[in-house]
Amino acid sequence: MKFALPSIVPGLTLLLASGPGQVYAWGMKGHEAVGFIAMKFLAPEASKFVQTSLRGSQYHSSLGLAAPWADEVRRQKGYAWTAPLHFVDAEDDPPTSCSVNPTRDCTGHGCILTAIANYTSRVVDTSLDDSERQEALKFIDHFIGDIGQPLHVEGIDRGGNGIHVTCAGRKSNLHSVYDGIIDKLLDDQYDSSVIQWVDSLVNRIKVHWITCQPGSGFIQRSVNAQTMLTLDSNSFGDDDTLNCPLVWAKESNAYDCSFVWTYDSYDDLCSDENEYYSGAVPIIESQIAKQGYRLAAWLNVLFDGETSLP
């Protein structure tokens, strides 16, 4: 459909659609999709932890509903320090050359790579209280989504936020176009429903999307805070909590060279008559599906000792 109809999505999504606010990354729908996909693949212990940790009326025990939380709080004073944890500013040169180099790109108080490692060790740390572990779970839920967005693994113009383009007839920026494309895709093909989109993606998911499987020693090896702040290639080599996010980051970042910069600045990038739109949809769909699947694998290894995927 061409015009914006009021959302007729059932319950949950409407509930979440409150407050426009600023959109980040995949936007709320992309993050919800990653969480809802992961819910379909959780092993028994991981599922039990998620159900308990996220119980109550706010999240209804769902990673889907809890996934956008990290974007909501980053605007609050007490959480402003978490803003840099949503990305890694790769100082590469797309579309000519793409790379992620933790020593070069993950500086200061850390980045998405160290954040995933940090919250991975915290979510299984029984010396923390329930609310701290819930917070760790919500950060993992969110960051494993963000790391699949090519512009979250790119430093140029603040991850494309400073690059002006057009989306659905409106002025936008390259970073936000990835949101706009999800909105249009859902309106056009999935009745504006994240749930319908998730069902379709889950049917298309294949096992080899995990790419990087944390080894069995990964749970015991709590990540040393000092290691995280003084990153070198050694810390990445033998620690899967750092290594897997790096593998995923490189995969996302490679899209900055193969696709993200292939737009024509005069085009409307969110129009289905445009090649950019039709090229972006399969990339976005596979990135969202993979991150949802990887999130489930990650939690399954943490709580059940193996990926336990079909």
Ligand X SMILES: *[C@@H]1O[C@H](CO)[C@@H](O)[C@H](O)[C@H]1NC(C)=O
Q: Which residues are catalytic?
A: 26, 31, 71, 74, 86, 142, 146, 152, 175, 179
In a 3-state reduction of DSSP, which class is residue 21?
Answer: coil
Compute φ and ψ for 167, nearest 5 degrees: -140, 120
Among 53, 114, 172, 252, binds ligand X (CB under 6 A): 114
Closest to 33 in 3D by CA, of 217, 281, 200: 200
Contact between 241 and ligand X by CB under 6 A: the answer reads no
Question: Closest-CB residue for Zn ion?
Answer: 86
- Contact letters for Zn ion, residues 4-43 (x by CB under 5 A): --------------------xx------------------
**How far is the CA of 223 from the CAs of 114, 288, 301, in angstroms?**
9, 27, 16
Contact between 146 and Zn ion by CB under 5 A: the answer reads yes
Vertex 66 angle, CA 269 and 26, to 5°: 10
Helix (H) or strand (E) holding 39: helix 27-39
Contact between 228 and ligand X by CB under 6 A: the answer reads yes
- Decide if 294 contacts 209 (C-beta within 8 A): yes
First to last CA, the chain: 36
Contact between 86 and Zn ion by CB under 5 A: the answer reads yes
Among 225, 237, 282, 306, binds ligand X (CB under 6 A): 225
Contact between 207 and ligand X by CB under 6 A: the answer reads no
Contact between 235 and ligand X by CB under 6 A: the answer reads no
| Least distance to ligand X, CB of residue 245, Å | 13
- Decide if 152 contacts 86 (C-beta within 8 A): yes
Distance CA 240, CA 116 (A): 11
Q: Which residue, 230 or 265, has its beta carbon nearer to ligand X?
A: 230
Per CB under 6 A, the segment of 3-11, 168-176, 179-187, 222-230 that binds ligand X is 222-230
For the CA atoms of the chain, what is the radius of gyration?
Answer: 18
Q: Which residue, 92 or 146, has its beta carbon nearer to Zn ion?
A: 146
Tokens of 121: 């060790």
| Least distance to ligand X, CB of residue 175, Å | 24
Per CB under 6 A, the segment of 27-35, 110-118, 123-131, 265-273 that binds ligand X is 110-118
Interface positions with ligand X (CB under 6 A): 110, 114, 118, 225, 228-229
